[in-house]
Amino acid sequence: MNGIAEGTVETVFVALQAARGVKATKAGYGTKSAVKSITPVLFGELVHYVHGTASVDESKVRAAISRDLVLRRQFYSLLESSRVATAPSQAQAASGEPLVQRKTRAFTLVFKPSRANADQIYVLLTVHAESGMADGHRPVIIASLSSEVGRLQFPPLKDQSAQLLLEVEDKRLVIVQNADAELSLI
Amino acid sequence: MSLALYGVSAELIDAIDGLREAPGISGPKYRQNDIDNLSQMILCRNYGKATLELSYLLLATLMGKSSEKGIAQGSFQSAFQDTTQKVWLNFFWLEESITPKRFRAAFTDIPEPVAPYLQLNEQGLTIRLSNSDFTLSPTRIATLASLLEFLVYVDPAVLQQDGLFEQGEGLFPSKCESTVKTLASNLQQKLYQYLADHLQPAQQQRRFRHLWTWLGEYHKGEGKEDRLAINDDVIIRFWKQATEGDEDSLGFRRYRTVAENFFDLRVAIQCVDARKNVTHSMDIELPPEVLQQVLTTSDVDGIDVNALTRMPKFLTKQQAETYQPIVEVGDTASVMALTIMRMRCFGDWQASLVQALRSKSNDHLKELLSEEKQVLTYSAYHEEITQLQMLSEHASDSGFHVLLHCQMSEAFGLVLQRLSDVDLNNVRGVLSISADGEPSALFTETVILAQWPDLLLRVPVLNQLVQQFQKAFKANNRQGFKVLTDNMDCDAYMEGVQLLDRVLQRCDKHLQGLNESCEVEFCSDLSIFKSGFIALYGDRL
């Protein structure tokens, strides 16, 4: 027909259709009735979540880690190779009360209620020589508890320490103070 | 759903979208172009060369981090016995050495013993191995990095290549080439397997064959010479026939889908025709690399109108949505302007009918079928587009006001282009006089800039135009047009007015292509579409 190679036209047609599929979600037009699905959490987001090197959607990352086994494995592999120290789960017969301190050879984490406001708690991180961390570094503490994770991103270290002020009910605080949670320092 | 509709799985589409949004250490990690490039590479299965390049890049990063001890033993051994995952994590994510500048910086301190094998030069980074040289261009690194990130998504173990690169004992230069080739082959295998599940064109191939056969028979029946002509008439006749059929396995009951398929078919025929003219052959193979080139060329016509909804905000999201179907189809907007208008007026109607069907509200469906007045008429469509153009011109005027404030020299030239020939001659007259009466004086942009206040005094029409810009700016309350400051991003405004100009021109051509379609034509189309919809959905009442 018209001396044109049908097979070749078909190849181009199929590629154009696929390109249309990819663009359809990019432009957003014509998908009024379609629900836009949430983009998956990619490796890069896990990296930045662990290292604190870029801003990520924390709740999206945490939800994906607890829901997706493959991603969770990837997260733990990354955590293990990136961290410089850990505070293992203290599975002691505790009273179930939140801890006031976690101490290891590399770092110490202290939880101190604010005197000015009973609903707030100071979280003080002090790093020791064994951590190998220098002033100016922005440390991250990751708390992991079965399939749940939480993260505390501290400001730059000054005189080997840094602090955060959090609400008592802050989910991140709850998991970090849990004796069963394993802590990692990055 | 998207697998059936477009041959691409929703998961793959989401992964590509995820890469577009990937966060980086200083804002979004990738530019739109990088991901457009990657997505075309994937869709055309054109990853042979890129996986080889990536493998060389991965090798180069390990070589660059070789320890002194390793080199002394004659092998490349990563400093401090780092795993490949650690080295690559650092390079591609923590330091993000993927821009040309950062890439070059990452390789400025190549350990001396490695120097014979790894050199940074003007073209980029050259890896010198026993049998060949391979040079990595700094401008390619971001696309390769996005390919790596996609591969990690497909298989997280991709970064763990200690065995292959013998991170324990170190990799000897003589073995590098075979290692790189093995890695490239492994990566290609992973992509191949992934795409077997996520790129399934069976439905699209069936559609193509159906359209191709129908087209040939239709034109033959009409006694037409050109068996492949695609126009407004062809599209509506095809759709009408589809509404009369009993089943719809190919999705041809939606007018919009039919139109989109014919648009793609027309572009495909044009691309192959063009290729035929280049190769002078009837039998043309399209290897993946050529297919991607063809796709890129056909994409050049598309305009990213969404860019105008970002800062500075020339258009609202809704305005961009109205322009989208007109500007994304290249010359189809003028050649098949009627179909574009029909897609809007009747395509929207059909969408609301389908919605009512899905929500099983029969009363609503009946109402929609009989309420013709909620359908956008052709005159109303015309009016809407013309009104939109007028508002866009005001937005453009606001942009010019900012550019004149920034004293951006290119802008002055653009403003003068808006004058009539008579007024432009007056301007030339004034400029000649100012340039010491030399009639052959060159009117460079800087001369215009210098004489601008004088021009405003002596050429009233120009002055009025400038006042118009100011008025438009004052009336504009959108982001980027609220206040004038000293350090405005003039480039963004310049890009904006130029892009908006292209949009307006495209729109003009579209409206001209409509041949002043009037109420009579609308009434006739309305009865065609209505009877089509009743045939499709009437029995649900």
- Helix, strand, coil in percent for chain A, rounding step 5: 35, 25, 40
- Is B455 within 8 Å of B462 (Cβ atoms)? yes
pLDDT digits (tens, 9 = 90+) for A104-139: 999 999 999 988 888 999 999 999 998 889 999 999
For A20, which residue in chain B has the nearest alpha carbon? Answer: B6
pLDDT tier for residue A27 given thresholds of 50, 70 and 90? very low
Could you tell me if B342 lies within 8 Å of chain A, comparing CB atoms?
Answer: no
Residues B113 and B231 in one domain: no
pLDDT digits (tens, 9 = 90+) for A135-147: 999 999 999 988 7
pLDDT digits (tens, 9 = 90+) for A148-179: 899 999 999 999 999 999 998 888 888 888 88
Residues B193 and B219 in one domain: no
Domain boundary among B146, B164, B198: B198
| CB neighbour class for B113 (10 Å; exposed up to 12, middle 13-18, buried from 19) | middle
CA dihedral B233, B237, B238, B243 (to 10 degrees): 140
ipTM value greater than 0.90: no
Residues of chain A in contact with residue B44, where contact means CB-CB under 8 angstroms, are 15
In the block, residue with structure tokens 């959108």: B478
Closest CA to B481 of B411, B396, B414, B391: B396
CB proximity under 8 Å: A 42-71 to B = 42-45, 47-48, 51, 53-56, 70
Q: Provide the pLDDT for residue B440.
A: 44
CB proximity under 8 Å: B 349-408 to A = 351, 354-355, 358
- Is the pLDDT at B522 greater than 80, yes or no? yes
Q: Is the CB of B22 less than 8 angstroms away from the CB of A44?
A: yes
Could you tell me if A39 lies within 8 Å of chain B, comparing CB atoms?
Answer: yes
Residue B77 domain boundaries: 2-198
Determine the Cα angle at B225 with ends B221 and B230, to 5°. 80
Count of domains observed in chain B: 3
CA–CA gap between residue B524 and residue A23 (Å, rounded)? 33
Can you spell out the DSSP letters for B306-355? GGGGSSS--S-HHHHHHHHHHHTTTTHHHHTHHHHHHHHHHHHHHHHHHH
Q: Is the CB of B205 less than 8 angstroms away from the CB of A12?
A: no
Residues B408 and B487 in one domain: yes
Q: Is the CB of A42 less than 8 angstroms away from the CB of B19?
A: yes
Residues B300 and B436 in one domain: no
CA–CA gap between residue B505 and residue B510 (Å, rounded)? 9
Domain boundary among B198, B225, B251: B198
pLDDT tier for residue A1 given thresholds of 50, 70 and 90? very low
Residues B181 and B259 in one domain: no
Pick A22's closest partner by Cβ from B39, B209, B227.
B39
Residues B395 and B407 in one domain: yes
CA–CA gap between residue B102 and residue B119 (Å, rounded)? 16
Residues B61 and B132 in one domain: yes
pLDDT digits (tens, 9 = 90+) for B347-357: 988 988 888 88
Residues B246 and B179 in one domain: no
- Is B146 within 8 Å of B34 (Cβ atoms)? yes
Pick B228's closest partner by Cβ from A2, A19, A40.
A2
Domain boundary among B198, B216, B248: B198
- Is B109 within 8 Å of B66 (Cβ atoms)? no
For A80, which residue in chain B has the nearest alpha carbon? Answer: B86
Residues B322 and B349 in one domain: yes
Output the pTM of the full model: 0.86
- Is B273 within 8 Å of A4 (Cβ atoms)? yes
Q: Provide the pLDDT for residue A28.
A: 40
Pick B85's closest partner by Cβ from A11, A13, A81.
A81
| CB burial readout B303-333, b (16+ within 10 A) else e | bebbbbbeebbbbeeebbbbbbbbbbbbebb
For A36, which residue in chain B has the nearest alpha carbon? Answer: B14
CA–CA gap between residue B7 and residue A83 (Å, rounded)? 42
pLDDT tier for residue A33 given thresholds of 50, 70 and 90? very low
Lowest mean pLDDT among A157-161, B446-450, B456-460: B446-450
- Is the pLDDT at B74 greater than 80, yes or no? no
In angstroms, the separation between the Cα of residue A80 and the nearest Cα of chain B is: 11
Residues of chain A in contact with residue B212, where contact means CB-CB under 8 angstroms, are 1, 6, 9-10
Tokens of B183: 């890695």
CA–CA gap between residue B417 and residue B120 (Å, rounded)? 46
3-state secondary structure of A87: strand
CA–CA gap between residue B147 and residue B88 (Å, rounded)? 13
CA–CA gap between residue A46 and residue A186 (Å, rounded)? 13
Tokens of B454: 């004088």
- What's the mean per-residue pLDDT of chain B? 87
Q: Provide the pLDDT for residue B88.
A: 94
CB proximity under 8 Å: B 242-301 to A = 256, 260-261, 264-265, 267-269, 271-273, 275-276, 282-286, 291, 294-295, 298-299
What percent of chain B lies above the pLDDT cut of 70? 92
Residues B160 and B276 in one domain: no
CA–CA gap between residue A121 and residue A115 (Å, rounded)? 9
Q: Is the CB of B17 less than 8 angstroms away from the CB of A27?
A: no
pLDDT digits (tens, 9 = 90+) for B257-274: 999 999 999 999 988 888
What percent of chain B lies above the pLDDT cut of 90? 53
Q: Provide the pLDDT for residue B311.
A: 86
Pick A17's closest partner by Cβ from B6, B24, B256.
B6
Lowest mean pLDDT among A96-100, B19-23, B118-122, B207-211: A96-100
Residues B120 and B145 in one domain: yes
Can you spell out the DSSP letters for B64-114? HTB-HHHHHTTSB-BGGG--HHHHHHIIIIIS-TTSHHHHHHHTSS--GGG
Q: Is the CB of A41 less than 8 angstroms away from the CB of B205?
A: no
Residues B355 and B433 in one domain: no
CA–CA gap between residue A176 and residue B110 (Å, rounded)? 42
